Amino acid sequence: MQKTICKELLELYNTHFKLDLLIESFRVIGYGLGTLLSVVFFSMGAISITSLGACLKSFGSLQTTYDLFLNNLNSMQESYLFFNDYLAFMKVKEGPPQNCHTADTFDSVAAEHLSFKYPNQTKNALHDISFSVKQGEKIAIVGENGSGKTTLCKILANLYSPTGKILWNGLPYNRCSVSALFQDYVKYCATVKLNVVLSDIKNIDKDAQISKILSENGLGKLPLDLKLGKELDGTELSEGQWQRLALSRAEFPNSEILIFDEPTAAVDAVAERELFEKLISNSDGKTLFLVTHRIGSARLADRIIVLEHGKIAETGTHEQLMSNRGKYYEMFNAQAKWYA
């Protein structure tokens, strides 16, 4: 897969170079030839000085048109390569993964010696990660920027393929019972209702459930048929409202595992704590992974996993980690100073 991606990128760069070279050639040859002919005609007395100036200006405008045309060809070539990826994606057969385990059989999920390296990188983003989580546990994942929090979440959502194993009751992990909300969520130009049900489109008619989830996330006043996004001449929400809407979308399916990677980054600390409390109370019986930069919110979790440089630095409850006086203790006190 990595070789294929690199090959496509190389082809794209080669195409860009050739087209850029072609554009520059047209510019030099076209403008040079036009200027030369104009000067020759002027020297022969075939055109006046005014006509010469007009010709030179026209050649400049014509050259701009050439540039625009060739740049459009360049963009079309690039779009064509990405469109091929889209066609390949659309050919993938829809349907749940095999050996999908339901809530009745889910007792624990375990990570065993997980490691992951991004393409063309020499250093692992995650290294030898192991932990076990029981059904219904609420886990907070904390750490500094670049510690591997988002990477771990995407592995748990089965979006990345690491070395090592993720086991569900001792069996291979699959994503059919997982919902996730990441930092780079999408703002869909559609109705409020569609923004929620896109995560479980077969339940599009469950208006009461949709309204309930929106209300729990502070969006109860938004009509379900309200159009969103300037492309539809619809309403533009604030960043906090878009984030709450994405949060509602993640909660809508009846998933066994919920993964929230900084779901409240666009709201203040008080609103974040309130939302986290609602998430925990509304996810009774479900396993919850919460990533947050605000260490104080991690206290709401049953257990905290602290990542540092792609490894688990320590794990435990808030009280245990404060007693250890390790990385968590350092991060907690560093943030506490801002509120003292």
Confirm if 244 and 266 have CB atoms less than 8 A apart.
Answer: no
8 Å CB contact between 307 and 147: yes
Domain boundaries defined on the chain: 2-90, 103-339
Q: DSSP per residue over 5-38, as a string?
A: HHHHHHHHHHHHHHHHHHHHHHHHHHHHHHHHHH
Handedness of CA 32, 33, 34, 37 (dihedral sign): positive
pLDDT tens digits, one per residue of 271-299: 777 777 777 777 777 889 999 888 878 88
What local confidence, expressed as pLDDT, does residue 176 receive?
Answer: 55
The separation between CA 189 and the C-alpha centre of its own chain, rounded to angstroms, equals 17
Nearest to 142 by CA among 264, 259, 292, 266: 292
pLDDT for residue 130 = 94
- For residues 260 and 183, give the distance between their C-alpha atoms in angstroms, rounded to a whole number: 9
More confident position, 234 or 68: 234
What fold does the segment set 103-339 form as a domain? Rossmann fold (3.40.50)
Convert the pLDDT of each residue in 229-264 to its tens digit.
887 788 888 888 888 899 899 889 888 888 988 876
Does the pTM of the predicted model rise above 0.75? no
Burial class (CB in 10 A: 0-12, 13-18, 19+), 244: buried
- For residue range 127-178, list pLDDT tens digits in order: 999 999 998 899 999 999 889 999 999 998 888 889 988 888 777 765 557 8
Q: Which residue in this structure is represented by tokens 């599009």?
A: 204
Distance CA(151)–CA(73), nearest Å, equals 37
213-228 per-position pLDDT tens digit: 999 888 999 999 999 9
Torsion of CA 248, 252, 255, 257, to 10 degrees: 0
Contact 71, 23 (CB under 8 A): yes
CA distance 222 to 118: 40
- Is residue 186 a contact partner of residue 139, using CB atoms and an 8 Å limit? no
The DSSP secondary-structure symbol of 102 reads: P
DSSP E strands: which ranges in the chain? 108-116, 126-134, 138-143, 163-168, 171-172, 178-181, 257-261, 287-291, 303-308, 311-316
- Asked whether 229 and 190 are in contact (CB, 8 A), the reply is yes
pLDDT at 25: 67
Q: How confident is the model at residue 95 (pLDDT cuts 50, 70, 90)?
A: low
**Burial of residue 39 (number of CB atoms within 10 Å: 0-12, 13-18, 19+):** middle
Q: Place 86 in a pLDDT band, splitting at 50, 70 and 90.
A: confident
